[in-house]
Every structure is written in C-alpha cells, then in structure tokens.
Amino acid sequence: MALVVPNPPEQPRRVKVYELRNNDWFDRGTGYCTGQVLNDEPHIQVKSEEEEDRLLLETRIVKDDGYQKQQETLIVWTEPNGTDMALSFQEPEGCAAIWDFVSHVQNRIMSLSSAVKLPKPELNILSSIENMMHTLTINTAGRDSLAKFIINEDYIPKLVPLLEMAEDMEMLPELFTLCRIMKIIILLNDSTIIEYIVTDEVAMGVVGILEYDPDFPTHKANHRSYLADNSRFKEVVPIDDPDIEKKIHQTYRLQYLKDVVLARILDDPTFSVLNSLIFFNQVDIVQHLQTNTNFLKALFDLFASDPLPPEEVQRRKHGVQFLQQCASIAKNLQGPSRSQLYQNLIQHGLFNVIEYALLNSDPATRIAGTEILVCMLDNDSGMMRNFIFKQIQDKTKPLTDTLIELLLTEQDLGVKAQVADAIKVLLDPSQTQPMEGLGKVSELMNSMTATRRPPDDMPNENFFSTYYDKSAKKLFKPLIDLEGRPPITFLSSNESALYTHLLELLCFFVRHHLFRNKYFILTENIAPRVAQLLSAKEKFVQLAALKFFRACVQLNDEFYNRQLIKNKLLEPILNIVIETMPKDNLLNSACLEFFEFIKREGIKLLITHLVDQCRDKLQSITYVDTFSSLMVKYEQLHDKTVPYSADEDTTPRNSVNGGKRWDGLKDLDAAEEEYFNGSDDDEEVEYSAVENSQKRIRTGGKAVLGASPSAGPAASIKSLVDYPDDDDVMDTEDAEGEPVKTDSGAANSVSAPPSDPGIENLNIASRASSVAADAPVEDTPSTPATDADDHVMAGSLPPTPDRLSEKRRREEEAEEDGMERLLRSTKKRSPSVGKKGGVNSPSSTGGGGGKKISISFASKGENAKGKKEEKEKEKEKEKEEQ
C-alpha cells in the first residue's frame, strides 16, 4: 500500500550531523537536511554544504519508535545497525519541519503495518480478531486503516456466514464475540461501511449478529424476523424503479438500526452519520417520486374515482398516510426543493386529497390530513391563503370553512386540537414565508422582514377580510350563542374542549389581528359571552376565559379596557379570587396575576373602575397585598398633589410574571431589538372606533416616517420625545405609565437573544437533535403539535378596504408606514421611544411603544423567529461542550 506523505519538507535546513562513537559525539559535518520520499520510502538526507554531491546522511525512516526530539533543535535516533545518530539544527523551525515529517511517517507506518492484515474470520479465532480490532481502534489512524481494510477485503461478508455456523452449534460465547466485533465495526463510524451493512446482501446477517448482545446475555432480539417481514412496507402505488425501491428499504433499515438495534450504544458521530445517510436517501427518494409523473398520476388517481370501490378504502387511507410521510420528510428538505415538492403535489391535486382526508370518517385519516395541512402551512402559508382565496372567488367552499366546521363538530379531541392549531397557523398574519437556514443573524433578519409582507399583498389581505366578514362568525358561533343562556352548569367534555380551543384562538386574534378583531369583538359583543364562561364548573374553562381577558389587558389598549369596564367584567374575575381564596390553586394564582398586572402597569381606567365599583370586595381580600396596593395606586392616581413616583414598581418584581428579563445581563442584539421596536410600532396602531373615536386615534409610525423617512431612528426619537402633547389627561397617564414601561421595555429587549433551552448539562444528551449539519431537521419536531403560541409573531393586519372612514384611512397609512419603516430601519431605537400613546392627530403621533407595547407578545414572536436560530446555537453549544 502506498505511503502517502503530504509535502515532504524539501526545503533544505542547515544542520550538523553527529554520530555516537565510543560514547562521544562525532561531528560528521554540516549540511542541508531534507525529507524525501524515494521509491515510496521516506528518507532523511543531509547534503554537505561544502561539496553538494556528498551526502552526509542518507537514512530511511523506520517504524521503530527510536526517534526523539530534544530541546528545540535536536533530533536523536538509532540506526537499524545500532548506531546512535543526532541532527542538530540551526533553526528550531527546521527541526520542527523534519520532526513533523518523521512523526507523520511513523504514524502512517504504524497504522498500515498493523491494520493491513486481519486473519480470515474463523469461529475459533474470533476473540483474537476482536482483540486486534480493539487495539487498532485506539487511535484515529488505526480506525481509518481498519475501516479501509474491512471494505477492501470484504470482511463483513466473511463474518456473516459464521453467524449461522455458531447458531447451529449453539456457540453462545462466539456469538457474543461476533456481536462485539460487529459493534466495533459499526462504531468505526465510516459511512461507507454503514451504507454497506444495510444492503440486501448483508443486512440480515448483520442484524442477526447484533441479536446476540453480550450486554443482555439472557435476551435474544429478533431483528431478523422483524426486518424480514415485508408486509411492513406499504406500497400504495407500485414504484417501478428498483433502485429507488431498494433505497426505501435501506432507509428503513437505517432507521431501524438507529432507533432499535443501536439505540443504546450509539455515540454522537455515528448517530449523525446515520441521520445524514437517512436524510440523503430521503432526498433522493422524494426527488425521484415527485418527478415521476406516472407515479404521481397513479397516486392521485386513487382519489379520483367516485364512487369509491370498497376495496379501495384501505388504499386511499394509505395514500393519505403516504402523503403525510412525504410531508414530514419534506420538513427536512431545503426550502426551494420543499416548495418544489409541494408545487408538484398540488399540481396533481393535493388539495383535493386534503379535503378528502379532512372529511373522512376515520380519525386517523383526518389526523393525517390535518398534519399535511399544517406542514404546508409551515412551508408557505401565503400559498395556502392564495389557494383559499381562489376558492372564494370560484364560489366554492373555502378550506377555512371546512376547517371551522371540522373544529366545531369534530368528536375526536385529538383531531380537534390539531384543527384548532391549523386554523391558528392559517390565520397567523406573521406566517407568510418559510424560514430557511437561519444560521446567521443577517439571514434571520432577512427572513424576519420577509415575513412581513408589503401591504399591497392583496390575496393575504383579502383572505383576512373574508375571514372576518364571513368565517369568524361561524367559528365563534358557539360563543355568540351563549347569549341569554342560563348560568353555565354542565359542559360535556366535547363542549369544554371546544370552548377552550375557541378561547385560545380568540386570545391569539386579540394579540395578532388588532383592527378587525376589535371590530368583531365589539359587534358580536364577545366579551360578555366570554365572561359567562368564567362561571363554568370546569376550572380549566374558567382559566381559558380568564386568559382572554388577560390578553386584552396585556395590550393596555383603551378599546379593550373600555369594553371590560362597560360590561363590568372585572368583577366576575374578582369574584373568582374570592371564591377560591385562600386556596392557592392554579385558578387563584392566575387571577392574582391578572390583577398584579393591572397594578404593575398602573392601568388607570381599570384601577379606577375596579376601586369605584368594588371597593368593599377589594378591602375584604387581605391574604395578599395586591388589592390593597391597587387601592393605594388608586389614591395616587387621583391625588394630583402627589407627584407620581414609579419607585417600587419599577423594581425587578415588576417583571415577576412577565416574560421580562433582568437588565444588563445579556447583550442586546441590535437586529433583534430592532425587530421588537418595529413590531411595537405595528401594535401601536390602534383602532378605537367606539366611544371617543376621533379624539383617540393612535396612528403609529406615521409621523415618524413623515418627519424623517430615511433619517435614522435617532432623529425620530428626538422628535417624538420633544413633541408637545396636548392631551392633558393622557399626558398624566403617560407620565405615570412611562417609567414602568421604559423599564419593562428595556428589560424586554435585554431578553431579546433567543434563549436556548435545548442545551443540556450533558452533551450526550444532544443526540436527539444532533443531526449532521447537512441534514437539517430543525423542523422535524415540528409544529403541528407545538403550542401555537410558539409561532406567534407580533404584527397586525392591514385594515379592510371596505370600512374606510377618514380615521381608518389614516390608520391604514400609518400602519403601512410602520411596516415600511420596519423594513428600512436598521438601527436600534430606544425602547422608551414613543411614550406618548395618546396623541390625537396623525401628524403629531408618537411612534413607539410606551403604553402600547405588548411585551410578552413581542417576545413570543421573537421566540418563534428565534426557534431555528436557537437550534443552530444549540448545536454549536453542544459542539463546544464536546
């Protein structure tokens, strides 16, 4: 075998050559030393500096470990004939270069000479083979050469027959040794070997050998019989390409190896090799199938025949599951190829299949259908909305309505939950673009801005307005129908699940669909209906209802606050406190948190209302100090002589409940902060249709943009802060609110770098997620299931074009500006910007967050964004730990 030595040190180095004669070092002369490979053998040569043709030294580097480097400039060794030699270099660099050469060659020789030969496997010498392998695996070079040897010499096929022999003779110790040998071979972590062991040729033999695990001497696994069972492979439509079919089986075996056979012994590198092999196979398979028109046609034709022949029912079910598996594999694909896949599938009629699946009588099929749907939404919800919008134009029943009906009528609670998730994603205004490769912040930023579609994105726009015009009423009908119902006493599990989902959706809309949802809540008088559920017997329903009100106050939005006051909805919540106290249950804590928030934020309207209406009740609750401090706050708010101080309320305990962070602990990522501020602006745009309409319009970023469209944010800050405020009442309020807000805003932005909960104290731990870098599984654990809150992003919708009052139009402009600005602005803006929430004309608008920032909401959005990045970080972290 050739000895490859990269770059032998050909540059001559000045050196003195010594030879030990009679215990004395004899100077053989001074010359120039080089390392060379002559006839495939490594040599050290020294040419005399006086006579170029004379060689002072010419020696072949041998395997024996006789070479030593002493001090910086000496190399000493013993020639094969027993002579001790020394080279004394003039420069340490020269010595180092030659020494590198020597040690490299020696390593090489070591590994080659020892690995090259293993005896042909026989039962009686298995243990010595195992020992030899063990010795080889100690260093990397040994492992490499062992791996090469095993491949070149077809060693595995030579091992496999021994299994049957040993089994026949019931030679248990040999079987164990065989298994150990196979484990050594697999853990060499050579992808060629691993690819090879799942081929038809040896797969059964290999897993057979692994059945005899010496760690479990009394157990024998049955891998062979499991894998041999071909019925596990469901071939819905014949795959005519034998190579691809082989690949499918091999991929399954790889997964089986990963999950079952090797699950316990896998180390991280082998785990990622397995994962990337699986990934590349899957890419190949999906790539092949989606370009195979005949195959796709045959697949989708399954769903075409109507009426359905009974014998086809099972095949259709499998067809849906097949597509579901495609979709879950697609999560790992790169963005463009994933979109390509969906394009191909859609062309052949994927939407029909989804509809079919959603309306199927079999819950498993419905689940598969919703899962495909959620995958597609995750991929590109804009595409889905376009499709639905087209349905609307074609006057066919839009998918949204199908989903809504399903949510309302579904009996399987699992499907119901998933449908609720799907609706949420579908109506998530921030989910418009797939996010890809968020390794870098710049990319993250790109995709963040990309997810905010320009306002002229008509299909999305129309989609949302149709939803609110038509579908929302259907969706929330069960809530609306509560009107006039006697106090709710009994709810079936189905009903309570439904109400919970509806309330969760409603919370989501409160946070994300600012304008339309407000209008909807107002016209349908939703708030009092939700309040009816506060008296449900089931505490989790009460809790869900409470969460709605909590989401409302979170926005600190006058519209919602007035809704709560007008309908006297704080009192029922207070009543829950009184009913549950002093029992410290979850409901009680959640209520306390609600009032703590109002107190902390100093929401004047609510505090005033609360104290005016329920002073006695407040006074009666003494087991916590929340309510007495509320009354103190009330006094402060109404006593103009005492200047309001924000002292205690700005201390960290403010943030006890919120998703807020300690100041100064983490560095702020400018990009992320910008994102925060940007979204704040969007939320800032307020729709206050009702009582005091004209006076209290908040028109977010307009003034900022108008004043200095391209100037940096610093300019905006200045103009904002300095702008004289002419609304006295609001002014007071603002002044009060500001310090608190500033604080929490700052705290919030400090938290901006996505936290990384994935990191564990053990790096082994990382296995579940440690996938080779080229096999991104980021999405895998995905989302159909995750709490949709994780996907939540800050953002608001462009208003409907059909309700354009003057005021509305202004808001709309303002909002567009806000978005524009978000796209443009690159610099950090102070979180305290725009404390003036209550400015009353567009031109004098305060831009930023102040009172209007919804903090936890923003940070959630950030989380969703950061999710991928997080995982990236996580991987890095794990690498570091290793």
Partner 1 sequence: MSDLDKAIEQLRQCRPIPELQVREICFKAREILIEEANVQIVDAPVTICGDIHGQFHDLMELFRVGGDCPDTNYLFMGDFVDRGFYSLESFLLLLCLKVRYPDRITLIRGNHESRQITTVYGFYDECIRKYGSANVWRYCCDVFDYLALGALVIGAGTSVQPTRSADGEDVETKVREAEDEVEIEVIGLGGVVTRQMLRREAGMINSTNLTPSALPHLSSSGPAGPLLTGIPGTGASGNSRGIATPNNAPANTGGAVLCVHGGLSPLIDSVDKIRLLDRKQEVPHDGAMCDLLWSDPEEIDGWGLSPRGAGFLFGSDIVKQFNHLNNLTLIARAHQLVMEGFKEMFDSSIVTVWSAPNYCYRCGNVAAILELGEDNSNAVLRSGGEEVLFNRENTRRLASTYMGGSMKRGGPGRRYRVFEAAAQDSRGMPSKKPMPYYFL
In the bound state with partner 1, the residue whose beta carbon lies nearer, of 660 and 810, is 660
The interface mask with partner 1, positions 198-217, x = CB under 8 A, is ---------------x-xx-
Cα separation of the two ends of the chain: 34
Give me the residue label for tokens 């307005």. 465
| Nearest Cα to Cα of residue 715 among 820, 829, 826 | 829
> Is 620 among the residues that bind partner 1 (CB under 8 A)?
no
Inter-CA distances, 319 with 225, 301, 333, 359, 402, Å: 26, 10, 21, 15, 21
Q: How far is the CB of 585 from partner 1 (least distance, A)?
A: 5
Inter-CA distances, 567 with 398, 464, 546, 562, 564, Å: 35, 28, 15, 8, 5
Applying CB under 8 A, among 136, 175, 417, 498 the residue interacting with partner 1 is 417
Distance CA 287, CA 844 (A): 56
User: DSSP string of 369-383?
Assistant: HHHHHHHHHHHHHHH
Q: How far is the CB of 852 from partner 1 (least distance, A)?
A: 21
> Is 485 among the residues that bind partner 1 (CB under 8 A)?
no
Applying CB under 8 A, among 165, 228, 265, 714 the residue interacting with partner 1 is 265
| Nearest Cα to Cα of residue 738 among 601, 863, 561 | 601
Applying CB under 8 A, among 146, 254, 261, 296 the residue interacting with partner 1 is 261
Q: How far is C-alpha 346 from the geometric centre of its chain's CA atoms?
A: 26
Which part of the chain contacts partner 1 (CB under 8 A), choosing from 79-87, 146-154, 319-327, 474-482?
Answer: 319-327
> Is 754 among the residues that bind partner 1 (CB under 8 A)?
yes
| Nearest Cα to Cα of residue 300 among 380, 215, 357, 246 | 357
Applying CB under 8 A, among 184, 576, 590, 775 the residue interacting with partner 1 is 590
> Is 760 among the residues that bind partner 1 (CB under 8 A)?
yes
Q: How far is the CB of 441 from partner 1 (least distance, A)?
A: 16
CB-based contact 344:290 (threshold 8 Å): yes
> Is 284 among the residues that bind partner 1 (CB under 8 A)?
no
Applying CB under 8 A, among 167, 443, 457, 593 the residue interacting with partner 1 is 593
Inter-CA distances, 493 with 60, 427, 499, 500, 538, Å: 85, 26, 10, 10, 10
Which part of the chain contacts partner 1 (CB under 8 A), choosing from 231-239, 450-458, 673-681, 845-853?
Answer: 231-239
- In which element (H, E) is residue 36 found? strand 24-38
Applying CB under 8 A, among 177, 391, 430, 751 the residue interacting with partner 1 is 751
Distance CA 867, CA 873 (A): 10
In the bound state with partner 1, the residue whose beta carbon lies nearer, of 421 and 683, is 421
Residue count, binding to partner 1 (CB under 8 A):
110
> Is 489 among the residues that bind partner 1 (CB under 8 A)?
no
Applying CB under 8 A, among 219, 246, 568, 827 the residue interacting with partner 1 is 219
Applying CB under 8 A, among 204, 758, 803, 823 the residue interacting with partner 1 is 758
In the bound state with partner 1, the residue whose beta carbon lies nearer, of 767 and 807, is 767
> Is 365 among the residues that bind partner 1 (CB under 8 A)?
no
User: DSSP string of 148-214?
Assistant: HHHHHTTHHHHHHHHHHHHHHTT-HHHHHHHHHHHHHHHHT--HHHHHHHTSTTTHHHHHHHTTS-T
Q: How far is the CB of 761 from partner 1 (least distance, A)?
A: 5
| Residues in 321-340 at the binding interface with partner 1, rule: CB under 8 A | 321-322, 325-326, 329
| Residues in 380-399 at the binding interface with partner 1, rule: CB under 8 A | none
In the bound state with partner 1, the residue whose beta carbon lies nearer, of 260 and 670, is 260
> Is 765 among the residues that bind partner 1 (CB under 8 A)?
yes
> Is 583 among the residues that bind partner 1 (CB under 8 A)?
yes
| Residues in 850-869 at the binding interface with partner 1, rule: CB under 8 A | 856, 859, 863, 867
Which part of the chain contacts partner 1 (CB under 8 A), choosing from 51-59, 62-70, 414-422, 437-445?
Answer: 414-422
> Is 362 among the residues that bind partner 1 (CB under 8 A)?
no
Distance CA 725, CA 703 (A): 14
Applying CB under 8 A, among 282, 716, 749, 825 the residue interacting with partner 1 is 282
In the bound state with partner 1, the residue whose beta carbon lies nearer, of 265 and 632, is 265
> Is 364 among the residues that bind partner 1 (CB under 8 A)?
yes
> Is 256 among the residues that bind partner 1 (CB under 8 A)?
yes
* The two structure tokens encoding residue 29: 């002369």
Give me the residue label for tokens 């400015």. 839
Distance CA 396, CA 773 (A): 44
In the bound state with partner 1, the residue whose beta carbon lies nearer, of 592 and 637, is 592
**Contacts of 824 by beta carbon, 8 Å cutoff, 6+ apart:** 710
Q: How far is the CB of 672 from partner 1 (least distance, A)?
A: 13
Distance CA 143, CA 141 (A): 5
| Residues in 520-549 at the binding interface with partner 1, rule: CB under 8 A | 539-540, 543, 547
**Contacts of 866 by beta carbon, 8 Å cutoff, 6+ apart:** 444, 672, 753, 754
Q: How far is the CB of 15 from partner 1 (least distance, A)?
A: 49
Report the half-sphere exposure of 230 (CA within 13 A, side-chain side): 4
Which part of the chain contacts partner 1 (CB under 8 A), choosing from 282-290, 434-442, 800-808, 832-840?
Answer: 282-290
Give me the residue label for tokens 């540059």. 11
CB-based contact 57:28 (threshold 8 Å): yes
| Nearest Cα to Cα of residue 612 among 555, 642, 582, 570 | 570
Give the pairing type, strands 13-21 and 41-48.
unpaired
> Is 424 among the residues that bind partner 1 (CB under 8 A)?
no
* The two structure tokens encoding residue 430: 């921030």
CB-based contact 370:358 (threshold 8 Å): yes
Q: How far is the CB of 442 from partner 1 (least distance, A)?
A: 21
> Is 791 among the residues that bind partner 1 (CB under 8 A)?
no
Distance CA 139, CA 4 (A): 18
> Is 757 among the residues that bind partner 1 (CB under 8 A)?
yes
**Sequence-separated contacts (24+) of 229-234 with Cβ below 8 Å:** 234/318, 234/321, 234/322
Applying CB under 8 A, among 1, 38, 714, 785 the residue interacting with partner 1 is 785
* The two structure tokens encoding residue 771: 């996938």
> Is 503 among the residues that bind partner 1 (CB under 8 A)?
no
In the bound state with partner 1, the residue whose beta carbon lies nearer, of 75 and 771, is 771
> Is 411 among the residues that bind partner 1 (CB under 8 A)?
no
Applying CB under 8 A, among 660, 821, 865, 868 the residue interacting with partner 1 is 660
Q: How far is the CB of 629 from partner 1 (least distance, A)?
A: 12
CB-based contact 36:42 (threshold 8 Å): yes
> Is 611 among the residues that bind partner 1 (CB under 8 A)?
no
Which part of the chain contacts partner 1 (CB under 8 A), choosing from 140-148, 303-311, 621-629, 707-715?
Answer: 621-629
> Is 226 among the residues that bind partner 1 (CB under 8 A)?
yes
> Is 252 among the residues that bind partner 1 (CB under 8 A)?
yes
